[in-house]
Structures are given as structure tokens and as C-alpha cells.
Copies of this chain bind each other. A is one copy, B any other.
Amino acid sequence: MNAVTTEDYKSLIEPVRNKRTFEDVSDRLKELIFNGALKPGQQLPSESALAQLFQVGRQSVREALRILELSGFIRVRPGVKGGAVVESTILSKIGSLFLDAFKFDRVSMEDFTTARRAIEVSMLDFVFKNAGRSDIESLRDNVARAKARIAGNSPAFEENIEFHRLLAKASRNYVFSIVMEAILAVLADFKSKFTVVKIEQSRNVVDCHAAIVTAIAEKKKPKAVVLLKKDLMGASEILIGSAHKERKRIGRTRA
């Protein structure tokens, strides 16, 4: 008899079954999606059918579907002909999780805007390297729509956010699209809550965007960098300004 306890074996022997049922189910379904056995647009069996197939209760299936839904693998709708359909909404899910991280860990607007500036400027290299004619067309189209909206006397809030999404797409590197989506999620949330977008601000932004597109089309990289920095700096000032006001209003400082 010695002092070796079960505890000592925990690092050596892993349990045969440590996963919870619903985790097992969601992992199995994930695998099917990764394998290509379940393709985007394809309908999954109903909850009760899945329960029978996996030989588990419906509750476990539901919790598994909840996981897949939140991870951005499926969309679930009620009603006849409803149910779970394979569909990638991961991008927007990453955005909301990033936003959660911001709120939970109380990231400062200064950190956010400076990091954003650095990342987006470095992304511009890729735009110059990889953007095609169609990308530039999309950007031009975006600017045109933004101008039209401003001409109609309303701020082009959505369009000006979309511009950066399109810029990321023009980098032809999906990683930047993911990161940009995260950035824009924070931006959209913050702006919608704390700032009133004025027409004048919107107009300046659109003008800057238009100049950026021109610089890209004319392959003038240094000019584009300067313009993008100016654009992002303007956004920073608005954000940080309202963040300070907000902190004052709430009367609580950062931990």
C-alpha cells in the first residue's frame, strides 16, 4: 500500500467518456459538416428524428443544435418545413463574440482604435497587391450609394461601415474579412448606442472614402495610406470623444 491515489492517474489515464451527451452530438454533426457530408443549404432531420438516430433524448439534441446555432453552422426556424439548415454565419458570430469580449473585459476605445488603425493599414498592402477590377467597382458603388443617401439628407451610416467590409474583401484574404467583421461589430454597436451620426461627419467620411478608392485605382499607395489613416483617425476621435462622455455619464471608471 502506498500513497498513490486515483488523482495521480488523472494525468495518465483519460476517461473513456468525459464529454456530455449534447457535446458528443454537436461534435458529430460538426464533423459531418466539415467532411462535406452535410453541405450548406442542406436540411437536417427534425429534432425528434435526430434523437432517434443518435439514440438520445430530444433535450440533448436541442442543446447540441443550440451550440451549432451559436457557432454559426446552422440556422433554425420553427414551423412545418422549418428546422435546422446548414448555413455559415460564423463571421457574424465571431463579430458578436468579439463584442462580448470587449464588454466583458472592458477594453478601452483607445486600444480599439489604435489597433484597428494598425491592422487596417497593414491590410491595405494586400488590397494593393490583390484587388481586382471587380473589387474597385464594389468600392466605387459603395461610395456612390453613400453619396446618394447624403444627397437625400440622411447620414450614410451603414454604407460607411460597409466600405471597410468591402476593403477587407478587396484584400482577397479571408483572414482580414474575419478580423474586419469583428472590428465592425464593435464599431456598429458602439455607434448605435452612443453617438448621433451627423450629416456633416458622414459627408467628410464619404469624401475620404472616395479619395481612397481613387488612390487605389491609380495605384498610389502612399496617398492611400495617408487617406486611410485620416479616415480612421476621424473615426477614432468621434468614438473616443463619446466614450469619455459616456464614462462620465455612467460615473464608473475602468477596472
Chain B CB within 8 A of A223 CB: no
Question: Are A98 and B178 within 8 A (Cβ)?
Answer: yes
Q: Which of A22, A93, A107, A115 counts the most chain B CB atoms within 10 A?
A: A115
CB closest residue in chain B, given A117: B122
What residues on B are CB-neighbors of A62 within 8 Å? 59, 63
The SS class assigned to the A binding surface is helix
Chain B CB within 8 A of A225 CB: no
State the CA gap A122–B229 with chains docked (Å).
Answer: 14
Give min CB distance, A179 to chain B, whole Å: 6
Number of copies: 2
Interface string of A57-75 (1 = CB under 8 A from B): 0010011001100111100
Give min CB distance, A93 to chain B, whole Å: 6
CB closest residue in chain B, given A123: B118
Comparing A158-166, A169-177, A195-203, A234-242, the segment that makes contact with chain B is A169-177
> Residues of A with Cβ closer than 8 Å to B?
22, 30, 33-34, 59, 62-63, 66-67, 70-73, 88, 90-91, 93-94, 97-98, 100-101, 103-105, 107, 111-112, 114-116, 118-119, 121-123, 125-126, 173-176, 178-179, 182
